[in-house]
Amino acid sequence: MPLRARISERLGHSGPTVSQTIGRMERDGLVVVEGDRHLELTVEGRSKAVHVMRKHRLAERLLADVIGLDWAYVHDEACRWEHVMSEQVERRILEMLGNPTESPYGNPIPGLDELGHEAAPAFMDGVVNLVERVHGTTESVSGVIRRLGEPVQFEPELLQQLQSAGVMPGATATISAAGSYVFIAVDGFGEGLELPNEVAVHIFVGV
């Protein structure tokens, strides 16, 4: 699927709207449209993306850890904060919260080295998604949940289901393949959930 179509699907915008936005980003020197119609961030584009994502994930930490906003709505609210936060506020949040390196969903906070802190690990360092974890085995396996990817974070109802089932970073889960689903259960949180593979690929456990 062309990347433009994925962006349109993910953001819920029409194809023409996405194309206009990409055209504007290309003119501003933020992206390059490759020959296969996929997009590549330029150096400037990647720098801007890192800055916005750092603000976003620090906002998530503040919303979850200090304000106490429900975990299921933290990502959506942080999307509003990421565009108005100054670097001074970023530094203050880091100081207040003891220099966190991950969001409440377990995702690394990028660009911390630009603020004089140790860089967070890369997203895929030491993790594998649930589908890959159970691939090729009929047995149940265990794993510590490390990250929930952004496609999961866009769905508050799904996040509420995961939270109710204990499927949150740091929890130890029992995982097994179930056809086109992955079954996941956390002790003390009921009978578990059957997650479609298209959801399970965005939930990561440690390896």
Q: Which domains does the chain possess?
A: 4-41 (1.10.10.10), 44-115 (1.10.10.10), 127-206 (2.30.30.90)
Distances (CA, A) of 33 to 9, 13, 181: 19, 19, 35
Q: Is the dihedral of CA 63, 68, 74, 79 positive or negative?
A: negative
Pairing label, strands 203-206, 31-33: unpaired
Question: Cα(15)–Cα(120) distance, rounded to whole angstroms?
Answer: 35
Query: Do residues 42 and 50 lie in contact, with contact meaning Cβ atoms separated by under 8 Å?
Result: no
Q: What is the tens place of the pLDDT at every residue in 10-45?
A: 666 677 777 788 888 888 888 888 777 778 888 998
User: Tokens 């594998």 appear where?
Assistant: 128
pLDDT at residue number 65: 97
For residue 193, the one-letter residue type is: L
Confidence bin at 4 (pLDDT 50/70/90): low
Angle (CA) 65-130-205 rounded to 5° is: 45
Percent of the chain with pLDDT over 90: 70
Whole-prediction pTM: 0.86
pLDDT at residue number 1: 38
> How would you class 46 by CB atoms within 10 Å of its CB: exposed for 0-12, middle for 13-18, buried for 19 or more?
middle
- List of residues 6+ apart from 111 with CB closer than 8 A: 50, 51, 53, 54
User: Which region among 20-29, 47-56, 65-74, 141-150 has the lowest average model confidence (pLDDT)?
Assistant: 20-29
Longest dimension (CA), the chain: 53
User: Tokens 């056809």 appear where?
Assistant: 179
pLDDT at residue number 25: 87
Question: Cα(82)–Cα(59) distance, rounded to whole angstroms?
Answer: 7
